[in-house]
Structure 1
Amino acid sequence: MSISRRQVLVGGGLGVLGGAALLVPTRSIDAKSISRLAPGDMPRPFQTALTQAPILQPDSTGIDPVDGAPVRYFTLTEMAATAAILPRLKTPILGYNGMFPGPTISLDQGTKAVLRVRNQLPAVHPFDGHPLTTSTHLHGSASLPQYDGYASDITSPGFRKDYRYPNAQPARTLWYHDHGVHYTALNVYSGLVGQYHLHDPLERALLPQGRYDVALSISDAIFAANGTLSYTDDSHSGLWGDVILVNGRPWPVMKVQKRIYRFRILNCCISRSLRPSLSTGDPVTFVGVDGGLLPLSQTVGSWRHSSAERYEILVDFRKYSTGQRIVLRNLSNPNNVDYDYTNRIMAFDVTDEPVDVSDPTWNTIPAQLATNNPVMALSPSEARKVRKFRVKRDDVTNMWNINGETWQDVISSGYKRVIADPGLGDVEIWEFENSSGGWFHPLHIHLIDFKILSRNGRPPFAYEKGPKDVVYIGEGETVRLLMKFGPHKGRYMLHCHNLPHEDHDMMVQFRVGPEDNFDPNDPITAAPATWDG
C-alpha cells in the first residue's frame, strides 16, 4: 500500500548503541514493518522460549536502628552490554547489571530496601550524544522526594546513589526505570527497566507464588540492519516498534501446566498501548492493578493497557487440551502505529506436566481480595478541592504541556514552581481532560495511589476498579480521580508516561504541604550522588 514517509536520522553507528538512517511512516498508518533487518535476521513470532529475569540477591541484611525493621541492601550497576534478542545478531543495550530487563527485586511488606545504583555507563549516548546521566525511579513506591527518582536529581557516569525504600505499602507490582531529565525515553528504550515485587500475607495466601507467579515486561523495538536499536520519536509524538518483546524476547512461547497461573503484566513500551486478549476468546480474571490487589476480582475479555500500567491477571489453563496453543493477542487501540506482527504478544503451550494439587491456588480464583483498601474506601464527599488539568500539544513548538506548563518552567523557577499544593493528608479530586486530538496520554502521579471515579461521566472500566497510579486518558476523554496526599511532604512529579511526551516537556510538579525555607527532603540536594571510587 502507499504510505507517506519522511526521513529521520536515528543514531550514527557510534559507541555501544550504533544506529542507522531510517525511513519512518507517519502516525496511525498500518505498515508491514519498519526495521531494516534482512529476512533471516528479522524475528518471527513464537520461535523462542519465555525467560524470567533473575531475582536480585541482597549484598547484606541488617536492622534499621530507628524502628527495628529489617533492611536488605542491594546493588545495581547501570552498564553497556549486549543482548541476544535477534536470531543471528547481537543488540547493544544499556542495562541494570548488564541485563534487559534488569533483575527482579522481591521483598515482603515491612522489609526496607537500600538500593545502591552505580552509573557505569559511557559518558554519552551514541544516538544523540546526550550525557548518560540517570535518575532511578521506583514506580509505585511512596518514597521520600530525594529517593523518588526526581528527574533533575541526576547521577553522572562514575557516580552512585543509594535509594531508600520503605516498602510499607500493601503487596503490588512496582517497576524501576530511569527517569533522567529530558532523556527518559531514550534511556528506557535502551534497556533501563526492571520489575520490583512487594508481597504481603494476604497476597501470598490468595494468589499463585513461585514459578506460577510470572512477570511479563512487554516492550517494542525497531532494529537497524546490523541488529542495533533504532530510535525516532516522530516529532516528539512517540515510538512504535514492529517487534514486540516480552522479557527481552520477541513473541516468546511459555509452556504451562493445566492449572491457574498469575501474570504480572507491565507495559514498558515507551509509547505503545496494548489491548490484550486470549485467542480462544476466553476471559481472564483481574486480581491486581498498579497499587495492589483489587477489592473484588474482575472477569475481562480484553483491556486497554498503556505504558507504565501494571495489571495482575489469572489465566486458567485447566480447560485446555495437552498440546494446545493459546496466543495472547494485541487488538491495539486508536492512535497507535501497527505492523504485520504487532497484533500478537506471546503464546502459551499447554503440557501434560503433573500439577501439584496440594497447592490450593492451582484451581482457585478468589472472588474477594483486598476489600479494605483505604484508597478504594475514599469518598468524593471527603474532597477539600477539585482541580482541573488539560493535557495538550503546542502545534508551533511540538512541545507537550499540562495546563500550559512544562518541566522547563519548573527548572526556570529554581524547582519551586508547582501546579498544585495539597496539604499533607488532604483528599482532592483531580480532573484531566485530553484536548490533544489524535493522542492518548498515560498520566502518572508520583507518591500516591488514586481511585478512578469516572471516565466521561461513566464508571471506570471493571479492571480499573482498584488503586491506580497511572490512568489511560484516551482521545476526547475526561477522567476524574480521587486521592489522599501522603505519607510524605515535599515535591513530586506529574507527567505523561508516553516518554517522548514527558521529555518534550509534559511534566510538572506538585507539592504536598507548605513550602519551607529549608526543605530537609529537597529532591536534588538532600541525598546527592557520590563518587563511585
Structure 2
Amino acid sequence: MAAMSISRRNFLAMGGFGALAAATLTAPLSSISAKSAPVLDGSKLKPYLLAFTRPPFLAPYRTGINPLDGKPQNFYRITQQAAVASLVPGLKTRILGYNGIFPGPTISINQGTHAVVTMRNQLPQSHPDFGTPLATSTHLHGSASLPQYDGYASDTTLPGFRKDYLYPNFQPARTLWYHDHGVHYTAQNAYSGLVAMYQIHDPVERALLPQGEFDVPLMVSDIQLRADGNPYYDDRGHSGLWGDINLVNGVPWPVMKVKRRIYRFRVLVCGISRAFKFRLSTGEPLTVVATDGGLTPRAIPVGQYRHANSERYEVLIDFSRYRAGQRVELQNLPLDNNTEYGNTRRVMAFDVTDDAFDRNDPTALRLPTVLANSEPMTLTRAMAKTTRRLRVERQNGDWKINGKSWADVIASNFQWAVANPGVNDVEIWEIENKSGGWFHPLHIHLVDFHIISRNGQRAFSYEEGPKDVMYVGENETVQAIMRFTPHKGRYMVHCHNLPHEDHDMMLQFRVGLKEGEADPNDPITSARPVWDAPAA
C-alpha cells in the first residue's frame, strides 16, 4: 500500500513529531470509507432486549505519597487499543477502547488524592474504518489540570508512545470524564469508543447522595452501523452525526432492574453531536442534584430537561413511587436540529422489583432539599473585571468563534488567544449564536462557571449549579460568570459538537501570561510523550 503524504495539517495533528514517525502512517486517508458498505437500519432493532451493564472500575496498580504536598497518590495505567465489541446481537463492531473496552474503565477517587495516569497509545497507525491518523490527546473533562496535562488538542501522542497525565483532584466531588481530544480527529476517535467516566468523591457528597450499588453511571451515546456491524461515519459536511441506535454504557436501549428506593444516576451524554431531552414515561420528576462541576445548592425537580453532549447532570429517581413489576422508561423528547429515527426517542427502561435493601440508609427513601454551595455560585456581576463577547458561527464551511479558528492558533505558533484574563480574575463571557440551524455546547477548559442569563432571562432551573459546558441553542445568547484559577497557561474553548470542534470551532485563552512570554507549563513542549513500544 502506498505511503501517505503528510500535509501540514496532519503533521500538526500528530504533534509535529517528525518525518520518521509520520512515515509510519501507511494508509491513505481516502483509502478507507465508512460510507462504502450498506447501512444497518437501526430503527428496526427492538429496544429493551439487553440487560443494563456498568463499566468496570479501574484499580490503581500502585499507591504512594505525592512528594510535593504529602497527600496520597494513585498510579493507573491505561492502554488505548483497537478491539471488537458486541454492540448489537449477532454482529461484531470494531472499536477503539481504553483498555480495549467501550466505555473505558471508570476511575473513582477521593478528593485530595493525586492521580498519575500513564496513557499508552497502542492503536494502529490509522483508523481501521475511517483511515484517519490515530495520534491522541487525553482530556480529563472537568479537571482543573495544568495545561500540559489538559489534553491540549495539538499535544498529541503517536502510536507506540505513552504519556503520564497528572491530575490533582482538589476540586469538590463531581462527575468527570476522560476522552480523546486529538486535533482534527476528536470526533472519529470519541465516536469509536475513546470515552470513559471519572468520579471524584468527598465527604459532603457521600453523606447526601446514594453510594455504591445505588450510584449509577449512565453514559449515553448514539451510533450508526454498517450492515457488517462496523461503525458508519457521515457527519453531513461537518454539521454533525446523529445515530439511529441509542446506547447506554455501550448497550442499545438496556433494561435495568431497580429496587423500590432512590437511585442516583450520573448522566453523561458522550455522543459526538446529539443532544437529548430526558423525561420519565410516568411523568414523575427527575431531581437534579449536581451539574458538571458538582452539587447544586438545592435539589431541583424537573419534568424534563435538555442535555447536550459532554454535559453531566446527576439526577435522583425515586422508585419507591412504583409498584413491583412496573416498567418505567427514560425517554428522549425531540429537539430542534437533531435527526430523529424510529427508536431515538427511547433511551432505557427500569424494571421495578421488590428486592430487599437497607432501609436504614438515610439516602434510600428521603430526597434531599438543601445540598451544598460552590464558589462559582457565589460570584456576582459586580465582581467581574470585564465582559467578553464570543460569537459562534459558520463561515465558508468552517465553524468559527469571532471569525477565528484553531487554524489561526496554529498559524501564530500557538500564541494567539481570544482572551487573556489574569490569575484569579472574575469575568463574564457572553456567547451569541445567531444561527437558527445549529446549537452549540460550548466547553471552557480549566474553569467552573455559573450561567447567569439566557436571552436576557434567568437560566433554566436545572442549570443552577457549577458548569463547564453551556448549551447555546439556536438564536440564543448565554452569559456565564467564572473565576480563572488556579493555574497560569493556555487553555481551550470550543464547541463540543465534535465535528464542529474538528472543523474548526476551537480557540485558546491565556491565563496570567503575555503573548510570547516564557511558559513553564507549555501545553505542547513541557511534558512530551516518550517511546513505549511498537503498536501491534
TM-score range, shorter chain: over 0.9
The one-letter amino acid of 1:518's match is: A
The one-letter amino acid of 1:389's match is: L
**Residue aligning to 2:392:** 391
1:21 and 2:23 matched = no
Q: Residues 304-324 of structure 1, C-alpha deviation per residue, up to 9 Å, x if partnerless?
A: 000100000000000101110
**Residue aligning to 2:40:** 36
Please point out which of 224, 229, 246 is paired with 1:222: 224
The one-letter amino acid of 1:531's match is: W
Q: CA contact under 8 A between 1:38 and 1:225: conserved in structure 2?
A: no
Aligned-pair CA distance for 1:21:
2.6
Q: For residues 306 and 162 of structure 1, what CA distance do their matches in structure 2 show?
A: 30
Q: CA contact under 8 A between 1:215 and 1:263: conserved in structure 2?
A: yes
The one-letter amino acid of 2:171's match is: Q
The one-letter amino acid of 2:446's match is: L
**Residue aligning to 1:446:** 445
Q: Helix, strand or coil for the counterpart of 2:188?
A: helix
Q: Helix, strand or coil for the counterpart of 1:100?
A: coil
Matches within 5 A, 1:148-167: 148-167=150-169
1:78 and 2:80 matched = yes
Q: Helix, strand or coil for the counterpart of 2:377?
A: coil
Q: CA contact under 8 A between 2:111 and 2:170: conserved in structure 1?
A: yes
Q: CA contact under 8 A between 2:34 and 2:232: conserved in structure 1?
A: yes
Q: Residues 432-466 of structure 1, C-alpha deviation per residue, up to 9 Å, x if partnerless?
A: 00022310000000000000010001100111000
Q: Helix, strand or coil for the counterpart of 1:370?
A: coil
Aligned-pair CA distance for 1:18:
7.9
**Residue aligning to 1:374:** 375
The one-letter amino acid of 1:453's match is: I
The one-letter amino acid of 1:477's match is: E
Q: For residues 37 and 449 of structure 1, what CA distance do their matches in structure 2 show?
A: 40
Matches within 5 A, 1:341-352: 341-352=343-354
Q: Residues 112-143 of structure 1, C-alpha deviation per residue, up to 9 Å, x if partnerless?
A: 00000000000011344221000000000000
Matches within 5 A, 1:95-494: 95-371=97-373, 373-394=374-395, 396=396, 398-494=397-493
Q: CA contact under 8 A between 1:18 and 1:228: conserved in structure 2?
A: no
Q: Helix, strand or coil for the counterpart of 1:74?
A: strand
**Residue aligning to 1:510:** 509
The one-letter amino acid of 1:532's match is: D
**Residue aligning to 1:27:** none
Q: Helix, strand or coil for the counterpart of 2:207?
A: helix
Q: For residues 243 and 156 of structure 2, what CA distance do their matches in structure 1 show?
A: 28
The one-letter amino acid of 2:447's match is: I
Point out the more displaced range, 83-92 or 441-450. Answer: 83-92
The one-letter amino acid of 1:113's match is: A
Q: CA contact under 8 A between 1:109 and 1:200: conserved in structure 2?
A: yes
**Residue aligning to 2:527:** 527
Extract unaligned runs of 5+ from structure 2. 1-26
Q: For residues 472 and 132 of structure 2, what CA distance do their matches in structure 1 show?
A: 31
- CA change 1:124–1:294 in 2 (3 A) is same
Q: Helix, strand or coil for the counterpart of 2:70?
A: coil
Aligned-pair CA distance for 1:518:
1.9
Q: Residues 301-352 of structure 1, C-alpha deviation per residue, up to 9 Å, x if partnerless?
A: 0000001000000000001011100000000211100000000100000001
Extract unaligned runs of 5+ from structure 1. 1-11, 24-34
1:47 and 2:49 matched = yes
Q: Calculate the aligned-residue CA RMSD, in Å.
A: 1.7
Aligned-pair CA distance for 1:65:
1.4
Q: Helix, strand or coil for the counterpart of 1:304?
A: strand
Q: For residues 47 and 488 of structure 1, what CA distance do their matches in structure 2 show?
A: 48
The one-letter amino acid of 1:237's match is: S
Fraction of identical pairs, as percent: 60
Q: Helix, strand or coil for the counterpart of 2:378?
A: coil
**Residue aligning to 2:24:** none
**Residue aligning to 1:4:** none
Q: For residues 54 and 129 of structure 2, what CA distance do their matches in structure 1 show?
A: 29
Aligned-pair CA distance for 1:531:
0.4
Aligned-pair CA distance for 1:36:
2.2
Q: For residues 404 and 526 of structure 2, what CA distance do their matches in structure 1 show?
A: 26
Q: For residues 184 and 293 of structure 1, what CA distance do their matches in structure 2 show?
A: 29
The one-letter amino acid of 1:466's match is: G
Q: CA contact under 8 A between 1:43 and 1:250: conserved in structure 2?
A: no
Q: CA contact under 8 A between 1:273 and 1:332: conserved in structure 2?
A: no
**Residue aligning to 1:30:** none
The one-letter amino acid of 1:512's match is: V
Q: Residues 272-313 of structure 1, C-alpha deviation per residue, up to 9 Å, x if partnerless?
A: 000000000111110000000001110100000001000000
Q: For residues 517 and 447 of structure 2, what CA distance do their matches in structure 1 show?
A: 24
Q: For residues 176 and 44 of structure 1, what CA distance do their matches in structure 2 show?
A: 31
Q: For residues 114 and 180 of structure 2, what CA distance do their matches in structure 1 show?
A: 21
Q: CA contact under 8 A between 1:494 and 1:509: conserved in structure 2?
A: yes
Q: For residues 415 and 319 of structure 1, what CA distance do their matches in structure 2 show?
A: 55
Q: Helix, strand or coil for the counterpart of 1:524?
A: coil
Aligned-pair CA distance for 1:374:
1.1
**Residue aligning to 2:59:** 57
Q: Helix, strand or coil for the counterpart of 1:361?
A: coil
Q: For residues 406 and 315 of structure 1, what CA distance do their matches in structure 2 show?
A: 41
Q: Helix, strand or coil for the counterpart of 2:320?
A: coil
Q: For residues 81 and 441 of structure 1, what CA distance do their matches in structure 2 show?
A: 31
Aligned-pair CA distance for 1:43:
3.3
Q: For residues 513 and 375 of structure 2, what CA distance do their matches in structure 1 show?
A: 24
